Amino acid sequence: ILWGYEAMKEALVDQAEAFSGRGRITIIDSLFQEPGDGKSWKVLRQFSVTEEAQSLVEELRKSQEKVQAEIDRVIGAHRLPALEDRAKMPYTDIHKIQRFSDLVPVGVPHSVIKDTHFRGYYLPKRFYKYTEVFFLFLSSALHDPRHFEKPNAFYPGHFLDAQGNFKKPEVFIPFSMGKRLCLGESLARSELFLFLTTLLQNFSLGSPKAPEDIDLKPRENGLGRPPPLFQVRFLPRRGGGGQEEAQMSSESLHPAPASVQN
């Protein structure tokens, strides 16, 4: 396992060519052997975006007033959010969620494609199917107290400078780094930004439970850290007539059978 930003940078950037091999792991071989637009990839992408959205829903409920103020100032109420708005909305940027709720703490396995010396170890070139596999423990960088003031808290200040402008720390690598950086990074960021801004442009979020009673500890399962199940209330921010409250479960992100009238 490659642990820590410095070790991963040394392997994936400084020795990028040597560590560019794809490590084979039986449980995920079928996924990576399928074309990028295959069924397994579509399921994986849907799962990733949905789970990230669940984290967005509850974590941003705590700071939604600031986010909504920024949405109202930049976008307003009479048009849909656009990707061009993101540069003007540093507080609403989804980087902080991807650091705090890192759904996939371990990156795609790598292997060396030539004899390599790394941090005092000799790593031989892979031979046929028998090869050393290196896992990237991305969480070790995303929660490193040397680089993040509050590594275990949802803290927007990690990504804001003294003037309140967006800044991206070098150690922020939820999509890995180097030659095998995830090609879907731009698409994922775009989808999550549009999901978040459209949601909070039109709704305020609440919970049947008090904030202190909600357990947000991820459900560790070895390969991922999906958020726990919880319920969220969506309160329309605008509109005439009676206000409707829809209660949704994070398990499905579908409205409950019955609405609650205010």
Q: How far apart are CA 203 and CA 51, in angstroms?
A: 19
Query: Which pair of tokens denotes residue 46?
Result: 């849907």
Q: What average pLDDT does range 75-84 have in this prediction? A: 93
Q: Is 80 exceeded by the pLDDT of residue 106?
A: no
Find the domain containing 109 and state its range.
2-261
Least confident of 20-24, 150-154, 172-176: 20-24
- Residues with Cβ within 8 Å of residue 113, at least 6 apart in sequence: 17, 18, 20, 21, 125, 126
**What is the model's pTM?**
0.58
Sequence length of the chain is 262
Q: What average pLDDT does range 40-57 have in this prediction? A: 52
Q: How far apart are CA 166 and CA 160, in angstroms?
A: 5
Predicted local distance difference test score (pLDDT) of residue 183: 74
Q: What average pLDDT does range 29-34 have in this prediction? A: 53
Helix axes 64-74, 39-61, angle to 10 degrees: 110
pLDDT tens digit string along 205-262? 877 877 677 776 666 655 666 667 777 788 898 754 344 455 544 444 433 434 433 3
CB atoms near residue 254 (< 10 Å):
9
Nearest alpha carbon to residue 259 among 227, 229, 223, 234: 234
Predicted local distance difference test score (pLDDT) of residue 29: 56
% of the chain surpassing 70 pLDDT: 61
Q: Is 70 exceeded by the pLDDT of residue 46?
A: no
Domain at 98, CATH number: 1.10.630.10
Q: How far apart are CA 220 and CA 205, in angstroms?
A: 26
Q: Based on the structure, what is the number of domains in the chain?
A: 1
Mean pLDDT of the chain: 71
Among 32-41, 66-75, 200-209, the range of highest mean pLDDT: 66-75
Phi and psi based region of residue 239 (left: phi greater than 0; alpha: psi -120 to 50; beta: remaining): left
Taking the CA atoms of 114, 118, 123 and 129 in sequence, report the sign of the dihedral they define: negative
Predicted local distance difference test score (pLDDT) of residue 98: 61
Residue linked to tokens 């790598």: 110
Q: How far apart are CA 156 and CA 63, in angstroms?
A: 9
Q: What average pLDDT does range 68-74 have in this prediction? A: 93
Beta bridge partners of 121: 118
Predicted local distance difference test score (pLDDT) of residue 241: 39
3-state DSSP call for residue 85? helix
Residue 110 banded pLDDT, cuts 50, 70, 90: confident
Q: How far apart are CA 174 and CA 55, in angstroms?
A: 15
Q: Where are the alpha helices (DSSP H) in the chain?
A: 5-9, 26-32, 39-61, 64-74, 95-100, 139-142, 185-202
